[in-house]
Amino acid sequence: MFAAALGGGATLNGKPITVTTAPKLRGAEILAARPVMQSEVWETGFPGFIRVYRPSLAYRLSLVGQGRFDGMLTLRPTWEWDIAAGALIVTEAGGAVSTRIGGDLVFNNPVPKVNGVVAAGSQAHAQIIAALRPVHAA
C-alpha cells in the first residue's frame, strides 16, 4: 500500500520510497497514453523516451514515486480527485509534479480539473516540460 503525509515522506508497505534520478529523457521509462507519441505534441519532435502504459493516473503517479518508472504525463485536462493523492506521493518521494505547462497544481478549483499532469524526478520533469510544445492553460 502506498502512503504519504505532507512533510513525512512516502512509503510502500511501510518502507520509504524515492523517485529515480534519470539523467536524460531519451531512454527514460515514462508512463503515458499513446497520444503523447505524436510528434506535434513536442517542440522538436518526440524526445525518445520509452512509453509504458498503466490505466490509472493515481497508480501511475504512485509508480513514479516508487521509482519503478522515471516519470508520467497526461496531456488531457484531469480531474483533481484522480491525482491529488498520487501527486503527494511523488512530491514526498522527492519528485516534481506540475501541470503540463509547468505550473503548480492547485486543488479545490471551481471546476475541479487541472491542465494535464507531468511527474518525475526534478531533472526528468524539467526536460519533459522543456520538450513539450507550449499550450495555453485550460
In a domain, 137, yes or no: no
| pTM, to two decimals | 0.92
Domain annotation covers residue 53:
yes
Q: In sequence order, what are the beta bridge partners of 3?
A: 11
Q: What is the pLDDT of residues 54-107, one digit of tens each?
A: 999 999 999 999 999 999 999 999 999 999 999 999 999 999 999 999 999 999
Domain of 108? Answer: 2-131
- Is 106 domain-assigned? yes
Residue type at 135 in one-letter notation: V
Q: In this structure, is residue 138 part of a structural domain?
A: no
Looking up residue 65, the CATH number of its domain turns out to be: 3.40.190.80
* Nearest by Cα to 117 from 74, 79, 87: 74
CB 71 within 8 A of CB 120: yes
Task: Determine the pLDDT at residue 39.
Answer: 84
Q: Is residue 10 part of a domain?
A: yes
Distance, CA of 89 to chain centre: 11
- Nearest CA-CA partner of 14 in 3, 29, 6, 27: 3
Q: Are 49 and 27 in contact (CB under 8 A)?
A: yes
Task: Tell me the C-alpha distance between 93 and 16, whole Å.
Answer: 8
C-alpha closest to that of 114 among 55, 56, 74, 66: 74
pLDDT tens readout for residues 99-138: 999 999 999 999 999 989 999 999 999 999 999 988 754 4
Do the domain assignments include residue 136? no
What pLDDT band is residue 45 in, cutting at 50, 70 and 90? confident
Q: What gap in Å lies between CA 114 and CA 7, rounded to an integer?
A: 23
Rounded CA-CA distance 78/12 in Å is 25
pLDDT one-digit tens code per residue, 7-35: 999 999 999 999 999 778 899 999 999 98
Q: How many domains does the chain contain in total?
A: 1
